[in-house]
């Protein structure tokens, strides 16, 4: 039965779990399952944390007509806060580095958030510091949501994501794999799974270098670990390079029809490595957002466009720029290199 929602906040959680049958082939008999988190109301896993943070703040009267929600985020959490501010009627101020993508800024603006830009060269750390300073200066005006230390972040996954995964796998889950950003997804889900399913293995995924293109993930060894991070919950941490994660994004799209973001490529790749090593089991990973947010990244460059135009009568732009051939050529698929996956 299609869902009927009393307001968009009710459209958060309850995301589908999908089996990746092609990508599980040849890995030792394990089942590979992916939780499609862009099906949340504003398009990412961060809706869960943002809603939990907002609900806790509303319950404690920390936000309201006079007091805005303030946080540092250039990513999905900002979009979630901004969407919830519009739905539930509170002000949202976001601090972000000036070099955040234009698409991101436009989305936040469209939702009506107030934006404060910090020096691009000083990165996210400066934005976080600025949000802290603003909240300290004007405590009556701002509630500092601070997703890195707010326990409502991981609780969203303890009470939501983990419960859903246990139900969707009928308790069969053997391995849980998630990327680490604020670490809320991993910490909340792993904490619950460990309490309810003896022997479940919980694996965190991080970029293999401080300079990476895996939006949403943090190279934990080189940053201050978030206050909510609990290393005891991780059986292991897998490092993934941007290039191989991007290759997996294309495989997900071309072999499973799933257009996901880069952090999803990283977690699917890491899960496959573990499957190859650990063999049969029920492996669940989280796909935080959709690839539609990253279409201007080099990964999605139309490197085959010219070839498609030259060879396919159905390719966009062909009809206008090319003479109609006497006998219609067979449409050809663009030749493509098979993306390389890092060996285990």
Ligand X SMILES: Cc1ncc(COP(=O)(O)O)c(C=O)c1O
What amino acid positions are annotated as catalytic residues?
Answer: 46, 263
Find the shortest distance in angstroms from Cβ 100 to ligand X: 13
Q: DSSP string of 11-60?
A: GSS---EEE-TTTTTTSSS-EEEEEEGGGSTTSBTHHHHHHHHHHHHHHT
Binding positions for ligand X, 290-319, rule CB under 6 A? none
Name the residue among 131, 164, 155 with its Cα closest to residue 145.
Answer: 131
Find the shortest distance in angstroms from Cβ 35 to ligand X: 12
246 binds ligand X (CB under 6 A): no
Q: Which stretch binds ligand X (CB under 6 A): 169-177, 179-187, 252-260, 317-325?
A: 179-187
204 binds ligand X (CB under 6 A): no
Binding positions for ligand X, 66-85, rule CB under 6 A? 75-77
Contact residue for ligand X among 181, 265, 281, 291 (CB under 6 A): 181
Find the shortest distance in angstroms from Cβ 196 to ligand X: 20
CB 46 within 8 A of CB 71: no
207 binds ligand X (CB under 6 A): no
Find the shortest distance in angstroms from Cβ 313 to ligand X: 38
Of the pair 142, 186, the CB lying nearest ligand X is at: 186
Classify residue 334 as exposed, middle or buried by CB count within 10 Å of its CB (0-12, 13-18, 19+). middle
Name the residue among 119, 252, 285, 274 with its Cα closest to residue 186.
Answer: 285
Backbone angles phi, psi at 206, to 5 degrees: -135, 160
Find the shortest distance in angstroms from Cβ 39 to ligand X: 14
Contact residue for ligand X among 13, 30, 97, 179 (CB under 6 A): 179
215 binds ligand X (CB under 6 A): yes
Contact residue for ligand X among 217, 228, 275, 315 (CB under 6 A): 217
Tell the residue number behind the tokens 């500092």, with chain if given: 144
Q: Indicate the length of the chain as a whole number.
A: 344
Backbone angles phi, psi at 203, to 5 degrees: -125, 125
35 binds ligand X (CB under 6 A): no
Contact residue for ligand X among 15, 20, 46, 52 (CB under 6 A): 46
261 binds ligand X (CB under 6 A): yes
Classify residue 27 as exposed, middle or buried by CB count within 10 Å of its CB (0-12, 13-18, 19+). buried
52 binds ligand X (CB under 6 A): no
Name the residue among 289, 246, 235, 307 with its Cα closest to residue 34.
Answer: 289
Contact residue for ligand X among 42, 52, 185, 290 (CB under 6 A): 185
Name the residue among 108, 38, 87, 16 with its Cα closest to residue 290.
Answer: 38
CA distance 216 to 242: 12
146 binds ligand X (CB under 6 A): no
Question: Which residue is closest to ligand X by CB?
Answer: 216
Strand runs labelled E in the chain: 17-19, 31-36, 68-72, 92-97, 114-118, 142-144, 175-179, 201-207, 236-240, 282-287
Tally the C-alpha atoms within 13 A of residue 334's C-alpha that lie toward its C-beta: 15
43 binds ligand X (CB under 6 A): no
Contact residue for ligand X among 150, 263, 271, 285 (CB under 6 A): 263
288 binds ligand X (CB under 6 A): yes
Q: Which stretch binds ligand X (CB under 6 A): 138-146, 195-203, 215-223, 303-311?
A: 215-223
Positions that interact with ligand X (CB under 6 A): 44, 46, 75-77, 179-186, 215-217, 261, 263, 288-289
């Amino acid at each position: 039965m299609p869902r009927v929602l009393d307001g968009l906040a009710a459209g958060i959680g309850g995301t589908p779990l999908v089996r990746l049958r092609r990508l599980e082939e040849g890995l030792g008999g394990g089942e590979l399952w992916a939780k499609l988190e862009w099906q949340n109301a504003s398009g990412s896993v961060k809706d869960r944390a943002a809603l939990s943070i907002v609900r806790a703040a509303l319950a404690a009267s920390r936000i309201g007509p006079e007091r805005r929600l303030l946080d540092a985020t250039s990513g999905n959490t900002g979009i979630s806060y901004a969407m919830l501010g519009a739905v539930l009627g509170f002000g949202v101020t976001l601090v972000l580095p000036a070099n955040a993508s234009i698409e991101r800024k436009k989305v936040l603006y469209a939702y009506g958030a107030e934006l404060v830009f910090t020096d691009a060269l000083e990165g996210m750390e400066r934005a976080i510091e600025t949000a802290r300073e603003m909240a300290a200066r004007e405590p009556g005006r701002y509630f500092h949501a601070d997703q890195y230390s707010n326990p409502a972040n991981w609780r969203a996954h303890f009470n939501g994501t983990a419960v859903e995964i246990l139900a969707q796998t009928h308790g069969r889950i053997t391995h849980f794999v998630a990327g680490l950003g604020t670490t809320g997804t991993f910490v909340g889900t792993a904490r619950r799974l460990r309490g309810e399913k003896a022997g479940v293995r919980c694996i965190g995924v991080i970029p293999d270098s401080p300079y990476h293109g895996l939006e949403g993930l943090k190279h934990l060894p080189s940053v201050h670990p978030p206050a909510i991070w609990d290393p005891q919950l991780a059986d292991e941490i897998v490092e993934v390079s941007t290039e191989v994660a991007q290759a997996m994004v294309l495989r997900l799209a071309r072999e499973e029809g799933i257009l996901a973001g880069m952090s999803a490529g990283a977690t699917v790749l890491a899960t496959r490595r573990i499957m190859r090593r650990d063999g049969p089991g029920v492996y669940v990973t989280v796909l935080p957002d959709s690839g539609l947010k990253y279409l201007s990244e080099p990964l999605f460059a139309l490197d085959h466009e010219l070839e498609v135009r030259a060879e396919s009568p159905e390719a966009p732009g062909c009809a206008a720029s090319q003479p109609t051939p006497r006998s219609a050529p067979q449409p050809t698929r663009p030749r493509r290199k098979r993306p390389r996956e890092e060996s285990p």
